Amino acid sequence: MGDGEGMNNNLHLGDFTSNASTGATVPNYYGDALIELAASRPDIVALNGDLAPATECAKFKEIYPDRFFSPGIAEANMVGMAAGMARNGDVPFVHTFSVFISRRAFDQVAMQVAYPKLNVKLSGFLPGLTTLLGVSHQAIEDMALMRSLPNMTLIEPCCASQIPAAVRAAAEHQGPVYLRMHRPARPMADNEPLLPLHIGKAQMMKEGSDAIILASGHMVAEALSAANTLDEQGAKVSVANIHSLKPLDVDFVIEHARRTGAVVTAENHSIIGGLGSAVAETLLEAGVHAKFKRVGIQDTFAEGGSTDYLFDKYGLSAKHIVAAVQQLLS
């Protein structure tokens, strides 16, 4: 094969996402961004819960062995350790799957990271319904949990081209950050421009006056696809990337809800407690009367499966967003 590194990546993908079956070698956008940052930031260290390949830390470990720590399969302890390191001036990035850093270690995150406002970055992988590994590995309420914690900032890049900015934003922010990381299934196109990311700001991806889709993470691509379909049907729909769920760009949400009068939220997450809830709270408190629909996991647990299958079955794909917008506009 001759491409030792690429083969190594494929053999040690480790997260049972759909890209294993495509055979595509996808760069470690997250891992490379962290390594690049670590070169100029000697305070950055990484902790890993026995998931280095799946959380793109294997290369960091090789390059910075003295800044990489393995607490093993022990997430509660790992979060506490990161807090201790932050108290001693380090900027620890904690790596595991989203579900384990939220469901499993929530008390530790609340008491040892959020309450003391420590400079700990929690990088959670496998968000929502993106894995064959099933219900135990599917974080469907991580954003709801993290959003409810005082002092916590929530970032979710929409795609590969926004990952470097997301990692930088997390590192530059002083305080706890939950970084919800979806590993792209395909490499970026050669000419794809990098997207910026500003905490507390929404990002308009497509302009239209009939409705707005507020989407996060993986769902931004679905929303753009839905908007193109709606275009063909004569409905002009805006799509915004809500990469910062907390703080939410409240002014943006209110302005565009008023302008369009129809709001669909789209998240790879339960409809309870995440983006849909945050937008509903914002609009109701601001007295905005807009038609409103939440696309997301409809208060149910799921199962293992390919992302396409799960998005189709649990109502997260572009066609579901199209149907939601049509319902509001009819």
| Beta carbons within 10 angstroms of residue 251's beta carbon | 13
96 in helix, strand or coil? strand
Nearer to other proteins, 43 or 255 (CB): 43
Nearer to other proteins, 16 or 106 (CB): 106
Q: How far apart, in whole angstroms, are the C-alpha atoms of residue 128 and residue 140?
A: 5
Nearer to other proteins, 49 or 273 (CB): 49
Q: How far apart, in whole angstroms, are the C-alpha atoms of residue 262 and residue 209?
A: 9
CB 64 to other proteins: min, Å: 11
CB 112 to other proteins: min, Å: 6
Contacting positions for other proteins (CB under 8 A): 45, 66-67, 69, 71-72, 74, 76-90, 92, 107-108, 111-112, 115-116
Q: How far apart, in whole angstroms, are the C-alpha atoms of residue 82 and residue 121?
A: 9
Residue linked to tokens 């998005």: 311
39 in helix, strand or coil? helix
CB 74 to other proteins: min, Å: 4
CB 67 to other proteins: min, Å: 7
| Beta carbons within 10 angstroms of residue 313's beta carbon | 13
Nearer to other proteins, 16 or 68 (CB): 68
CB 109 to other proteins: min, Å: 11
CB 73 to other proteins: min, Å: 9
Nearer to other proteins, 4 or 65 (CB): 65
CB 284 to other proteins: min, Å: 34
CB 16 to other proteins: min, Å: 25
| Beta carbons within 10 angstroms of residue 180's beta carbon | 30
- Given a contact cutoff of 8 angstroms between Cβ atoms, the answer to whether 128 and 140 are in contact is yes
Nearer to other proteins, 68 or 292 (CB): 68
Structure tokens at 282: 């914002």
Query: In this structure, which long-range contacts are made by residues 87-92, counting pairs with CB atoms below 8 Å and at least 24 apart in sequence?
Result: 87/116, 87/118, 89/43, 90/43, 90/44, 90/45, 91/41, 91/43, 91/44, 91/45, 91/119, 91/120, 91/121, 91/171, 92/44, 92/45, 92/46, 92/47, 92/120, 92/121
35 in helix, strand or coil? helix
Nearer to other proteins, 91 or 248 (CB): 91
Nearer to other proteins, 86 or 171 (CB): 86
The one-letter amino acid code at 168 reads: R
Query: In this structure, which long-range contacts are made by residues 306-311, counting pairs with CB atoms below 8 Å and at least 24 apart in sequence?
Result: 306/18, 306/21, 306/132, 307/17, 307/18, 307/129, 307/130, 307/131, 307/185, 308/18, 310/129, 310/130, 311/129, 311/222
